[in-house]
Structure 1
Amino acid sequence: MKTARATQRFTFSSPARGTAATSVVSRALRSRSLAAFGTLACLVSLSGCAQIVSSSLGDVMGKDEFDATRASELPYASLKLKHANSTALVVLATLEGNGRIARFESRDRGILELRDGVLSATSGFARDVADRREQSTTGRALARPAWLMASGTTYQVSVSALSPYPRRLERQDAASTGSQRQDDVAVMQVHEATARLECETAAPYSLPLAELPLQHCREILSWDDGSTTRNDLWRDENRVWAADMTAWPDGPRFGWEVAKAW
């Protein structure tokens, strides 16, 4: 993974600039933001997207490219991302839904989306999460984010994932008479689980740039295929500050810690 840089629009205030310069910068940032949204939309819609990025972040193994000094100097929110035995600095690219949905991007356009502070989607990794959602055990919307509810709470989790091994489909090639060709078609898989949240009392936790008293919570997931997985998070009463999650049974694991909050 390469060290991230700020390449899209941000929701932070900045020093005033000349009108012309601001216009040029805004157009450039808007263009990059649309490109990233196109990447994520490509992932979710599965419409004609053979390759999202040129090199998967998951292919870079065993590298530590998180720079705490750079994270402290950047005027943008950021995370220390852990994936495939590597770490990297990823920077906030977009913020939506009154701050509930935050997308972070690496320099090679890998995207990690957090909803209410936890994993909701990814793009550009060897195996990607198209969408992750929680709801009550009766199928209704939760009164508040699952990750901030009381210890002992149970709820349902649904994860839409892209198959790491696309199936091959044969179809008629209209460009030539009677010939056949094969296309790689990404396959969407849906995994569902019943989750239970178990939390401990708050204790000091060292983040990349600070130490805070945080509760360690475990999310125990009983999946529809009979398997069980565990996710870990560290929270206070308002925010998830760190997490380590397996996206689905036998799926990729993503971990992150907040360097600068949004």
Structure 2
Amino acid sequence: MSLTACAQGQLSPLGETLLGKQPARDLEERAEALPYASLVAKQQGNRALLIMAHRTGEHGRDTYWQAGDHATLHLRDGLPLSTAGFEEVLLGRWQSAGDAPQHYRVHAHWQDRHGLEWQDVAQATLDCEPPEPVEMPLTRITLERCTERLDWQGSNTSSRGVFWRQPGTRWIWGGDMTLWPKGQRLQWQVARPWWSDAENTASEAEQMTLLNDDASP
């Protein structure tokens, strides 16, 4: 996946930032000025501001983030699931259960710049550190730093990714990950979040209802 995606026609300022066509602007100031949910992303030295274009799925778990040239990043539960409009494309990245919550499998399906499709599966180990204050583009917040170690079976390689998670809610505020074996690293941070305290309260109420149902005779 590359941030040198091809675009047609004249680029908006957002697309120009994504493609590195102009000197870097202050993306944090731009994110603060816009009333939309946004991410600051970085890859191969290029930084971009991505705006949330769509939200769907159960509890709004799927979010779609778009740059000015229509390059798109799809997050599920705050982690990359797929991309579109790049030279190399993530077609899917998902987890399946292992023998413990900290041990699971990561599946990756991607397309290289020549149009060839590839798949691989990794054994994953997750280790989260105690929460500490972290600087995000528009705020300072206490987060857990979680390290995901991946041993890819098909390519016989290893990689390591990091994401920052809010305790309790488990909202993910950012990450620094290789999305498939030997792929380019993608870094992103939430500038303006798309969730709300009301959503968290509703989620906690739902979990409590499930627990009460399970406890009923």
1:65 deviates by: 4.0
Aligned length, in residue pairs: 182
1:104 deviates by: 0.4
**Separation in 2 of the partners of 1:260 and 1:125?**
24
Partner residue in 2 for 1:213 = 142
Does residue 86 of structure 1 match 2:46? yes
Give the aligned CA root-mean-square deviation in angstroms: 2.6
Does residue 254 of structure 1 match 2:203? no
1:226 deviates by: 1.6
Structure (1 or 2) with the larger CA radius of gyration: 1
Match of 1:108 among 61, 66, 69: 69
1:126 deviates by: 2.3
**Separation in 2 of the partners of 1:99 and 1:234?**
20
**Separation in 1 of the partners of 2:177 and 2:137?**
18
Higher strand fraction: Structure 1 or Structure 2? 2
Mapping of residues 19-168 of structure 1, within 5 Å: 53-54=7-8, 60=20, 64-97=24-57, 98-137=59-98, 153-164=102-113, 166=114
**Separation in 1 of the partners of 2:6 and 2:61?**
25
Partner residue in 1 for 2:175 = 243
Q: TM-score, normalised by structure 2?
A: 0.76
1:112 deviates by: 0.7
Letter in structure 1 aligned against 2:87: A
**Separation in 2 of the partners of 1:52 and 1:61?**
12
Does residue 231 of structure 1 match 2:156? no
Residue segments in structure 2 that go unaligned for 5+ positions in a row: 195-217
Q: Give the conservation status (yes or no) of the 8 Å contact 1:63–1:85.
A: no
1:131 deviates by: 0.6
1:137 deviates by: 2.5
**Percent of residue pairs identical:** 30
Matched residue SS, 1:220: strand
Q: TM-score, normalised by structure 1?
A: 0.64
Against the structure 1 CA distance between its residues 66 and 85, is the aligned structure 2 distance closer, same or farther, given a 3 Å change threshold? same
**Separation in 2 of the partners of 1:84 and 1:62?**
15
1:163 deviates by: 1.9
1:60 deviates by: 3.9
**Separation in 1 of the partners of 2:56 and 2:64?**
9
Residue segments in structure 1 that go unaligned for 5+ positions in a row: 3-50, 139-148, 167-185
Q: Give the conservation status (yes or no) of the 8 Å contact 2:122–2:152.
A: yes
1:52 deviates by: 7.2
**Separation in 1 of the partners of 2:159 and 2:23?**
26
Matched residue SS, 2:60: coil
Q: Give the conservation status (yes or no) of the 8 Å contact 1:62–1:86.
A: no
